[in-house]
Amino acid sequence: MTRFTAAQKATKRAKAKTQKTTRVKREAMVEESKREQFLGLCMTCIHANGCAFRRDVAQAVLECDEFDIGQTAPAKIEAPARAETSTKGIQESMFKGLCVNCDVRHECKLTKPEEGVWHCEEYI
């Protein structure tokens, strides 16, 4: 029975890890080169390589019942920043529309005292 030193074991583990990393990279490159051949929906479909409907690689597929892109991260949508305006210096008689009796009219950043606000999701 062959006994290995700790250094030899570490070297073997590092070599195995390097080989695995190289193999994974090589497989990813092959997968990418195959995917570059596809046109249309097939470029992003997770079933592209094993697709039963693929006939002509040169033609783009624009509609497919089997199309699937897998899991994606949800889109992050940020609301645009509101302008920093305040109505604290405006006299009560200047408010028009819904702003006349809104509870948050003095802190509101959407107020248009000269025209009045007639549709507002912030109205309380």
d(CA 111, CA 103) in angstroms, rounded, equals: 12
pLDDT tens per residue, the chain (124 residues)?
567 788 887 888 888 888 888 887 777 665 655 555 677 888 888 887 788 776 666 678 888 888 888 877 777 777 666 555 545 555 667 777 888 888 887 787 776 667 778 888 887 7
Q: How many Å apart are CA 13 and CA 15, to the nearest integer?
A: 5
Q: What is the pTM of this model?
A: 0.30
Question: Which residue, among 81, 84, 48, 89, has the nearest Cα to 66 in the 3D structure?
Answer: 48
C-alpha count within 13 angstroms, C-beta hemisphere, residue 93: 0
